[in-house]
Structure 1
Amino acid sequence: MSIQLHRLCVTGPGREPAELLFAGRSYLVFGPTDTGKSYVLESLRYGLGSSGKPRENQFSAGYTRLALQLKSAAGEELTFFRDLVDGSEAVCDGYHQTPPQGAVPGGKPRKIAVVLAQLCGASEKRILVKAGKREGLAAGDLRHFSLFDEIETLDLKPLVGTDTNLLTRRRASGAVILTGHDDEGLTLVASAAKRASAGGYVEAVDEELAILNARLPKDVSSSNVLEAMAKLDTRIQELQTFLRSNENALNELKRDRLHLQREVRRIANERIALTEARTRFELLREKYSSDLQRLEAVETAASVMDVFAPQPCPLCDTPLVVQSRHVHAENDSFALMAEAARAESQKISHLQHGLASAIRELDDDIESLTVDLREVRKREEDNLAEQDALFAKSPGADGVGLSALATQRTEWALVLRDLDRVDVLVKRREEYSQLTKRKTQTVDRNVAEDAVSVCNRIKALLSEWGVPGVEAVHFDEKNVDIQINQRNRISFGKGKRGIFLTAYVVALMEHALQSGNPHLGFVAVDSPVVTYKDPKHGGKGEELLDTTVADRFYEWLAARQESGQVIVLENEEPSTALLEQIPHTEFIGESGGAGRRGFFPS
């Protein structure tokens, strides 16, 4: 699974489109420096989902949108759009220069990286990205092995790079492209995050174990607890059997006791009511006594009033009989008052006799109720004694009833639960303690057979291009790179570093496509053949290429029939005869003459 590049188009308001038509073919873009060749490669990378925007130059001002048209291995035509200002993206079916109306049905845009991974067979692959962590093979991994700007082509860094955060990922993704096998079956060690999490879990387990051990009885084991619970179960079973066999007698006694308890409450309530009534009668008797004392005083005072003669007012000398307030102060009125007091005293005395009789009756009733209450309580005690006598014959005769036995069993069950929890926590603690230990991630990928195939193809390509002195090519799994004659590729001069890298990535692409492994389906290389003719490169002590290598490289590019696209960006112009055989675009620069000035129309 792969893609074919069809067209690269950069547009802007009021700007003439800048485009290259690849049409699924291998392609050559050449011309002098500062004509936009680097912008082309950066645009391809950006159009395929990279976050890095193409670097602006003096001709790119005003261009705001990039469209990359491509075709899938299944023949599906797609266009990837990227905004050069805000970085937004869209994926549309068909070939378009600008996004069509309604290009995003339902308002759910597809992500370029996701679509690209699906088109290139990477979405189902899982690779090791760091110790203890796997992720999906991403579009960025595929771009790394397909797109090479001038610096990367001639760099002194191996293909795996020098970023320690990406070394593991690069090795894993390179192995998937080479062999087609991912790291799904790889046994992972604990990642740093998992180790930290495991350490926290161990601390939490220790705290819980301390709590459990503090509340567990000393020197107790699960076997002891199970034995105690078995004994309790036996006693509970025996007691339940006894209760079922004596159920009728017990129920009769309990019903009688309930009746007696109701009778106790009734008698007690009646006695309380009579006692309260007697208390009120006592208060009434005290009031009668007070009233009699008052009436006796009135009678005595009235009986002696006629002995005293009326006296005038000591202030005004007014006779008593003349004063309106004392018109009743006649001797006969005092006699009447004394008579009335005697009559009232007789009435109250009569009431006192009746009240005393009522109090006596209440005392009799209270005494009778007290006797009844005593008898009922005695009967209740006898009932309880009968129940105790019945229970004395039961397995619970030691005073431990069914409820107490059930409570004891529950307590032992909780102890057993805590013991089981302790066993589980101890095992888990051991497991997580192992996770806290830092271990080296072991990776064993079988790449030998595929590596030999790729190396043979590299050697064949270098021979076809006329690169001298290549006797052996080996795969360097650690650096995901190659060795030529037992030397690392990056140990050679610029010219050989570039041509060796080109042969490597072309051979890797062809092998991946033939084997059905994940790959973009094309490679784009800037400055693959640096020769003595190129004044931009070269310098004292550099191992550059003979001019014939470039000619033979272009001959190979013109005649190439293998799968995959090879897009070359170079300063050097091939011969006119070869140029007619290679799909190409020439940038003539600012030197004048007829032709295209650069990637951007001037």
Structure 2
Amino acid sequence: MTITLKHLSVHGPGLLPAVVVFDGRRTLIRGPSDTGKSHIWKCIWFLLGGTATLEQFPESQGYDSLELAFLHGEHEYLVRKAMSGGAARVLVRLDDLWVPDGTPNPLEDVNQDLGELLVQLSGAAGKQVLRKRSEKGPITGDDLRHWALLSQPGMISEDATKGKGHGKDKHVSSFSLFLSGLDDSAVELYKTASEKDQAKGRLAAAEAELARLQGVIPADTDRASAVAALAQVDERLDMFATQLQARSSVLKELRQQIFAEGEALSTAMTQQASATSMRERFTLLDLKYSSDLARLGATDEGIQFFEALTETPCPLCGTSVEQHVDPGNLKPRAPIKYRDAIAAEAEKIRALRRGLQPSLAQEQTRLAAATADVQRLTTSLKALEEQEKAVLRSASLEFDSDPRELAESHTRLSSLIDAFDETVRLTAAIDHLKEATKQKQTALVRNIGQHGDDVGAIARQMLNDWGFTSIQSVYVDPKACDLVIDGRRRLSYGAGKRGLFLSAMTIALMQHALRSGHPHLGVVVLDSPLKAYAQKESPDKDREIPTATVNTSFYAWLSRFQGPGQIVVLENEPVDPVTARALDAIEFTDDYARGRQGFYPPRPMIAPPPGPSDGAEFDELA
């Protein structure tokens, strides 16, 4: 699906808009020079993503913004942009024709770059084109404009149709895309200069590393001998590993026994310490009982002695004993009670002492058993430790080589083998990098198949309709992106035919692309396709068809044009009134007295109505 231009308008505060409404199939805007026709072409180019600033002239003073409306399916897009430049604002709404009640749908901003939007609407989204042989990129709005909008200078230019400068390669690619429908996504890219420089850097590094490795490898050594020597070292190391594994198994068993004996010894020593502690406590308690019995015996003897004493007054004061002690203690029964209590206490202590003796004997027996276990386990543990030392000594005596030397030899030989392998890898990498630094140049031949002949057939029929009935063959040269007419390159013709032939190719390319479902903008805008051919002073020797015939035939063909696609023609040459009515042509008269003067509405401050004496001056007014 393509776009269809709807109208172009220029606006300014307090000024009438300058508006041109386009027909959906073909539009002719005709008028003399300096009435704004080329300016319309520049405005369309500018609003479709061109960046060149529009030139200002007296009629455009006060106007500051432009608007281009175009249709795409059921949607109407508006592109608004300041005449001074800057970013474009893109809006969209459903086409008014689809609104049942006639009320326009609201406009909504399109959050997409204008160029990307045009590429998408033209069906070229995702297509890849060559920008140069080392770079690909998406098709851009510039490619669409280049093959759809032909300026007046471009019509007669002797330059190649692909243009000049950095964009010419992608113009060739986009031409092929419109022609054949095939993009360049499958084309293999050349390496960029940066990639070649990187390859050269990697090549130098690889060569330096190869030289270093070759210096490390002894001259009288090859990889096979190094592998054999490493195998012998591995065999010796395996023997060491086997011996160590056997010793490890024995040591593991011994150490398990040592651990078990150590645990048992620790338990026995704990029991010994516990029994010793309990025996000491019981012994100390027995001594205490013995001491208590002795103390009670001494007290009983004291009471007996007290009973034997006679009462005597106090030798100091002469008073009786009743005055110095409790009289109750002097009663005859008191000493007897004391002695009975002492006897009962002594008997209790003797009973406790008799009960202590079995416990003391038991702890003594437990201590003796624990002491014997400690002695036995200590002896067993020492014997196991001596066995462990003997195993370790025997292991060191059985190894007839130094393990450290074998490990060093293994490392050295492994490194040597790695150096041999890395040398092989670097040699292959160097060969590859040498190829990468010298890119092989191959011709790029795009497969356009029958498409070039199809476009040539459309262009030939078109040129025949325009009056060039003698033309017998037309085909497309895909490398030049141009026509070959009757065996001659288009650029070999004079300026007038160059312009007309280029117009025919551009229209034919659009029609072929749209009929074949290939990407294309869907619009062709031609600025003055007939002017160069009609100039009498032109030195074109190939102008065998009269100008009037070509003009009449061209306009008649345009009036019958029904697509596919849309054509907008901006032209100076006069058109027959009947054909003009059939075309519904927009006429610029350059005359205040009749019709439309030009693109911009007349303003008295710029150009007052002409008087009788100055009409000639206003004939030259733009």
Deviations along 1:40-72, one digit per CA (max 9) or x if unpaired, are 111111211122233332222333322222222
Distance 1:238 1:491, change over 3 A: same
Question: 1:58 maps to which residue?
Answer: 58
SS in 2 for 1:134: strand
- The gaps in structure 1 that reach 5 residues or longer are 258-379
**CA shift at 1:580, angstroms?**
1.0
**CA shift at 1:150, angstroms?**
0.3
Distance 1:61 1:207, change over 3 A: farther
Deviations along 1:336-390, one digit per CA (max 9) or x if unpaired, are xxxxxxxxxxxxxxxxxxxxxxxxxxxxxxxxxxxxxxxxxxxx99997863432
Find 1:143's aligned residue among 127, 131, 145: 145
**CA shift at 1:77, angstroms?**
2.2
Distance 1:530 1:448 in 2: 35
User: 2:42 aligned with 1:39, yes or no?
Assistant: no
Answer yes or no: is the 8 Å Cα contact 1:189–1:441 preserved in 2: no
User: 2:391 aligned with 1:392, yes or no?
Assistant: no
Answer yes or no: is the 8 Å Cα contact 1:256–1:383 preserved in 2: no
Question: How does 1:74-473 map onto structure 2 within 5 Å?
Answer: 74-94=73-93, 103-104=108-109, 109-163=111-165, 165-216=166-217, 218=219, 223-247=224-248, 249-250=250-251, 387-393=392-398, 396-400=399-403, 405-406=406-407, 408-473=409-474
Answer yes or no: is the 8 Å Cα contact 1:79–1:95 preserved in 2: no
Question: 1:18 maps to which residue?
Answer: 18
Answer yes or no: is the 8 Å Cα contact 1:188–1:441 preserved in 2: no
In structure 2, give the amino acid aligned to 1:189.
Y
Answer yes or no: is the 8 Å Cα contact 2:155–2:498 preserved in 1: yes
Distance 1:420 1:571, change over 3 A: same
Question: 1:599 maps to which residue?
Answer: 599
Deviates more, 1:383-392 or 1:476-485: 383-392
Distance 1:224 1:124, change over 3 A: farther
Answer yes or no: is the 8 Å Cα contact 1:123–1:138 preserved in 2: no
SS in 2 for 1:67: strand
Percentage of identical aligned residues:
30
Deviations along 1:296-346, one digit per CA (max 9) or x if unpaired, are xxxxxxxxxxxxxxxxxxxxxxxxxxxxxxxxxxxxxxxxxxxxxxxxxxx
Answer yes or no: is the 8 Å Cα contact 2:199–2:437 preserved in 1: yes
Distance 1:580 1:7 in 2: 20
Distance 1:75 1:386 in 2: 97
Answer yes or no: is the 8 Å Cα contact 2:464–2:470 preserved in 1: no
In structure 1, give the amino acid aligned to 2:20.
L
Distance 2:586 2:59 in 1: 18
Distance 1:408 1:104, change over 3 A: farther
User: 2:49 aligned with 1:49, yes or no?
Assistant: yes
**CA shift at 1:114, angstroms?**
0.9
Deviations along 1:268-309, one digit per CA (max 9) or x if unpaired, are xxxxxxxxxxxxxxxxxxxxxxxxxxxxxxxxxxxxxxxxxx
Distance 1:61 1:441, change over 3 A: farther
Distance 1:423 1:534, change over 3 A: same
In structure 2, give the amino acid aligned to 1:399.
D
Distance 1:518 1:219 in 2: 69
Deviates more, 1:203-212 or 1:481-490: 203-212
**CA shift at 1:534, angstroms?**
4.9
Question: 2:520 maps to which residue?
Answer: 519
Distance 1:411 1:561, change over 3 A: same
**CA shift at 1:247, angstroms?**
1.6
Distance 2:84 2:547 in 1: 43
Distance 1:466 1:86, change over 3 A: closer
Distance 1:235 1:531, change over 3 A: closer
In structure 1, give the amino acid aligned to 2:174.
S
TM-score by length of 1: 0.70
Distance 2:191 2:533 in 1: 52
**CA shift at 1:522, angstroms?**
1.2
Distance 1:386 1:88, change over 3 A: same
Distance 2:219 2:143 in 1: 60
SS in 2 for 1:70: strand
SS in 1 for 2:403: coil
Answer yes or no: is the 8 Å Cα contact 2:134–2:189 preserved in 1: yes
Distance 1:116 1:243 in 2: 79
Answer yes or no: is the 8 Å Cα contact 1:199–1:432 preserved in 2: yes
In structure 1, give the amino acid aligned to 2:598.
G
In structure 1, give the amino acid aligned to 2:90.
V
In structure 2, give the amino acid aligned to 1:471.
Q
**CA shift at 1:425, angstroms?**
3.2
Deviations along 1:81-103, one digit per CA (max 9) or x if unpaired, are 3333242123222289xxx9995
Distance 1:220 1:66, change over 3 A: farther
Distance 1:247 1:532, change over 3 A: closer
Distance 1:593 1:212, change over 3 A: farther
**CA shift at 1:115, angstroms?**
1.1
User: 2:586 aligned with 1:581, yes or no?
Assistant: no
Deviates more, 1:489-498 or 1:226-235: 226-235
SS in 2 for 1:49: coil
Answer yes or no: is the 8 Å Cα contact 2:80–2:88 preserved in 1: yes
Answer yes or no: is the 8 Å Cα contact 1:90–1:110 preserved in 2: no
Answer yes or no: is the 8 Å Cα contact 1:125–1:182 preserved in 2: yes
Distance 2:66 2:426 in 1: 59
Distance 2:393 2:48 in 1: 92
Answer yes or no: is the 8 Å Cα contact 2:199–2:436 preserved in 1: yes
Deviations along 1:552-593, one digit per CA (max 9) or x if unpaired, are 11111111122001110101231111111114322222x332
**CA shift at 1:155, angstroms?**
1.3
In structure 1, give the amino acid aligned to 2:467.
G
Answer yes or no: is the 8 Å Cα contact 1:43–1:53 preserved in 2: no
Distance 2:201 2:214 in 1: 20
SS in 1 for 2:396: helix
SS in 2 for 1:581: helix
Distance 2:557 2:220 in 1: 85
SS in 1 for 2:582: coil
Please give the root-mean-square deviation of Cα atoms over the aligned residues, in Å.
Answer: 3.3
Distance 2:80 2:212 in 1: 61
Distance 2:61 2:75 in 1: 33
Distance 1:231 1:477, change over 3 A: same
Distance 1:417 1:50, change over 3 A: farther
Deviations along 1:155-192, one digit per CA (max 9) or x if unpaired, are 122312344x3443232221111111122222333233
SS in 2 for 1:20: strand
